[in-house]
A and B are shown apart, each in its own frame.
Chain A
Amino acid sequence: MSKEFIIQAIVSGVLMGLIYALVAVGLSLIFGLMEIVNFAHGEFLMWAMYASFWFWVLGLDPLFALPLVAALLGLAGLLVHYGIIRRLLTAPMLAQVCGTFGLAVAMRAAAQYLWTPDFRTITNPLIAGRVQIGPIFIGQPQLVAGAVCLLAFVLLWLFVTRTETGLALQATAQDRQAAAVMGIPTERMSALGWAIGLGCVGVAGTMLSTFFYVFPDVGASFAPLAFVAVALGGFGSILGSLVAGVLIGLVESLGGLLIDPSYKTLIVFGLYLAVVLVRPMGLFGRF
């Protein structure tokens, strides 16, 4: 195996991992705030990809549609919170699971009904082609996608750790009642968590749509990886999602190269099992 292949696999693994990380951090944020697992996370990613695709059909390149899709998904987060989740907070856990799981099924079915099961692709996006750096080739869409996701991640991290609202968000996740008696509107913080979490999915989905097929089941191939990233990185840890997402991207692409591409998902889940056996709270976990 030549050195070039390995470097190539590392670079594409990291770029893909950055997208996984951004999808995962939304999941982690929502779980950290209200201990609700969003089983429809992959479906929101799918809808974000469709949104990007339809904007492209209307003549708007994904790069320009990016803020629109992120805002739309953020809005969807608010709708989900106020329309569904708020009513489920005091419900039994099974009802909570069914709530977001039911949403996932409905969203997938709706996508099939509205847009057919066809695979769609965005052709000739503004950014296309490949760049060559020494012996390795990187797809430009992947490169830009990785960079945008990393940037979004940095912005999210700055927001959560450097702004007052971000600190209140953390406080709400760490002790909801203590935050409430101090006057922090915890309900609004949860809604904000959903908006930001799905906004991240909007960014990831838009970038993904520039080089990946868009179809109703596309979320099903990404959501499990996001779940693994959250558990691997540690529930509630933002940095953990980043490290775990990149790690998963790396393991996937190196495993695919060195062992067999058809085993790549198996290797990811194997790694996950190994980590949770040794460190059940995940790499950076607090729970």
Chain B
Amino acid sequence: MLLEVDKLEVAYGDYQVVWGVSLNVDAGESVALLGPNGSGKSTVVNTISGLIRAKAGAITFGGTSLVGQPTHARAPLGIAHVLERRRVFPHLTVLQNLQLGAWHPTAKAARAETLERVYRLFPRLGERSAQLARTLSGGEQQMLALGRGLMALPRLLMVDEPFLGLAPQVMEQMKGVFETLKGEGMAILFIEQNVRVALSMSSRGYVLESGRLAIHGPSQELLASPDLRRIFVGG
């Protein structure tokens, strides 16, 4: 197993938001982490990334325990996290954003090749390489955020709401890129509110409800599950 999260508990001060969540992602597998707004999806991935400290539970990646390790120790292990809302470096150029994405030595050594690959996936980024990131459109910023994550040569890509606010055309392009990455054997964890899109791109899914794991299983089964409708639509 590539990523294993076991009985994770997370609290902001006295306010606990994640209760005993366990999930795993195998090498080369695409998994969706679903749930309505405020269900704790982002908290779970942010804890995997070490941006938030876990209260209890275990997180291991490729057999290495991540608990207590600083955030920056994850990229060299092969985890890339594309944060919610793009979070590009606004006052740096597209190229500088991408270059910084390849920070750890292995990624740095392959920087030129990876850059070419990212430009092939997103030709738009190549055209705008000298532009400041803040002058890009929302869709282009999402491409940059993803491209920057790929620069680190991840084995596991965690993407938080990658389709939020995208124009239909850009969304299709993004889906195509994810399919390409899956084809190359990259494991992807989609954090999504858009159930249909996320499950169509993944083989399994986990659904959170108020910080607890409500249901999980193969994507096809989840799509047919009445619980899914209850959680997202209510009633």
Chain A residues packing against B (C-beta within 8 Å):
164, 167-168, 170-171, 174-175, 177-187, 286
Measured CA separation A174–B93 after assembly (Å): 13
Measured CA separation A77–B71 after assembly (Å): 24
Question: Which residue on B lies nearest to A175, using beta carbons?
Answer: B87
The answer to whether A167 and B99 have CB atoms under 8 Å apart is: yes
Question: Which residue on A lies nearest to B96, using beta carbons?
Answer: A167
B101 within 8 A of A: yes
Q: Given A180-B51, A184-B100, list of 20 further CB < 8 A pairs?
A: A164-B99, A164-B100, A167-B92, A167-B100, A170-B92, A174-B91, A175-B88, A175-B89, A177-B87, A178-B89, A179-B100, A181-B49, A181-B72, A181-B80, A182-B75, A183-B72, A183-B103, A183-B152, A184-B103, A186-B71
The answer to whether B70 and A185 have CB atoms under 8 Å apart is: yes
The answer to whether B76 and A178 have CB atoms under 8 Å apart is: no
Measured CA separation A10–B85 after assembly (Å): 48
Measured CA separation A171–B144 after assembly (Å): 14
B83 within 8 A of A: yes
6 nearest A-B pairs in the assembled complex, by CB-CB distance: A183-B75, A180-B71, A183-B103, A178-B87, A181-B81, A174-B89
B148 contacts across to A, CB distance below 8 A: 182
Evaluate whether A170 and B75 lie within 8 angstroms (CB atoms) in the complex, with A177-B51, A181-B83, A182-B101 already known. Answer: no
Measured CA separation A175–B74 after assembly (Å): 17
The answer to whether B72 and A168 have CB atoms under 8 Å apart is: no
Question: What is the distance, in angstroms, from B188's C-beta to the closest C-beta of chain A?
Answer: 16
Question: What is the distance, in angstroms, from B225's C-beta to the closest C-beta of chain A?
Answer: 32
Evaluate whether A171 and B89 lie within 8 angstroms (CB atoms) in the complex, with A182-B100, A187-B70 already known. Answer: yes
Measured CA separation A286–B132 after assembly (Å): 14
Measured CA separation A174–B89 after assembly (Å): 6
The answer to whether A171 and B100 have CB atoms under 8 Å apart is: yes
A178 contacts across to B, CB distance below 8 A: 83, 87-89
B104 within 8 A of A: yes
A168 contacts across to B, CB distance below 8 A: 100, 103
The answer to whether A181 and B75 have CB atoms under 8 Å apart is: yes
Question: What is the distance, in angstroms, from A121's C-beta to the closest C-beta of chain B?
Answer: 43
Our pick among A164, A167, A183 for the contact of B104 (Cβ within 8 Å) is A183
B62 within 8 A of A: no
B218 within 8 A of A: no
Our pick among B70, B90, B92, B103 for the contact of A182 (Cβ within 8 Å) is B103
Measured CA separation A168–B99 after assembly (Å): 10
Question: What is the distance, in angstroms, from B152's C-beta to the closest C-beta of chain A?
Answer: 6
Question: Which residue on B lies nearest to A177, using beta carbons?
Answer: B51
Our pick among B72, B75, B92, B101 for the contact of A186 (Cβ within 8 Å) is B72
Measured CA separation A184–B71 after assembly (Å): 9
Question: What is the distance, in angstroms, from A100's C-beta to the closest C-beta of chain B?
Answer: 24
A182 contacts across to B, CB distance below 8 A: 72, 75, 80, 100-101, 103, 148-149, 152
B71 contacts across to A, CB distance below 8 A: 177, 180-181, 186
Question: Which residue on A lies nearest to B103, using beta carbons?
Answer: A183
Question: What is the distance, in angstroms, from B91's C-beta to the closest C-beta of chain A?
Answer: 6
